[in-house]
Structure 1
Amino acid sequence: MINQETTVEILSPSQRLSAVASLGDPVRKQLFELLREREDAVSRDECAVILNLPKSTIRAHLDRLVEQKLLAVEFRKVGERTGPGSGRPAKLYKVVIDEVEASVPARHYDLAAELLAAAIQHSIDSGIGAQDALSEVAFDAGVKLGAEAGSIEAVLENTGYFPLPDGEGGTIMANCPFHRLSKDHTGVVCKLNGSLLTGVLEGCDDSSNSIEPDTNLSHCCARIVPKQPS
């Protein structure tokens, strides 16, 4: 099974572009870099003091970074005082994604790296072969993505596969999120990709489709094919 610490959090291509654009603002960039360096969540007031800016300005930029899914919010009491009379919990901010990249067309080399590293660790821990470990890890990651997204279509859109009808009732992927890796490591990447997408179908409880190889090298190695009635 996939290591519970393996992350499969994915920003859609549009979210990545929006996040990169958001960090083009110098104040938001300063805030993001400040929070990225902190191990614990930080309050708005502390950010305002460190950056020597008004609290209202800091609040507006923090809220924007939360909207872009770069920061998460948590509420808890700070300081040594606890219990009644110790005040309300403070609103604190923490970095969720500490690196943001955007590309056109969409690529997700971060996801590939995470799954490949998790597969190596799984192979070491379990003693199974690397290929089987990769299949298991990618499948489990796909299950999680499918369960969170609710449909194969949502995962394909968020991950940048650019699905298109094949004219025969199925779907081809006009873009490979792992394109550069697949050119030199075709077998490994296609195994990862097929297992990931098969897991997505499992996770979103899609029993009407299956994943099959697509030998057309002009796009992704996998295609979605409707299952034939038994």
Structure 2
Amino acid sequence: MDDPGLDAIAALGGLADPVRRRLYEAVAGSPTPIGRGEAADAAGITRTLAAYHLDRLAKDGLLVVSYARRSGRSGPGAGRPAKLYARAEAEFAATAPPRDYGLAALLLAEAAAGDATGTTGRALRAAAEQLGRELADADPAPATVEDALRSRGYEPYDDDGTLRLRNCPFHAAAQRHPDVVCAMNLALLDGLASGLACPAQPQLDPGPDRCCVAIPAADRTLRRGSRR
């Protein structure tokens, strides 16, 4: 009988290879699917070697494959569709024996969504904001807001001055209860920014393929001598 914890460890074990990890990071860091040539250039290897490792990552479930004509042309003479790679949405929890903390998060979101009085939701947001403040005091202290977010798995990136987050660490729960989870997430990041004395205020700004929270174009310099 397959052990899901060991299966996840096996899938992630391929990233121990430095070439494969560079390729995965190149694909994961792109907002759109990329081809073998782009991935090879980013990893500093040949296209043939990139193709081998990319296909192995896809076989392990870490990447998904699609096909498209990059020129936008169609019909005779348009050429063969290019093979493109994107990060898979599948989640891997590499624990043995397996632990299902995502299920606990989902149950909390279910409870908050079903509470007609709103008491559970308010308590959840208050706890999230307090946890954000505590994360700001981590040792070693993050040097930038981006460092703090990156360490929590948000994958921050700059979008014309606005700091957006490519990954939602609570994706599964957010899919079922976006109002509850996004409000909790906003409270968490507001507490983090406040604990870091960052003047910029996190805001809800949901969009496809990204986290629901963004930090607008404003001074994100840490001012540790004060608190909001």
Q: TM-score range by the shorter chain?
A: 0.3 to 0.5
* TM-score of the two chains, using structure 1 as the length reference: 0.44
| Structure possessing the higher relative contact order (Cα contacts under 8 Å, 6 or more residues apart) | 1
Determine which structure has more spread, i.e. the larger CA radius of gyration.
Answer: 1
* TM-score of the two chains, using structure 2 as the length reference: 0.45
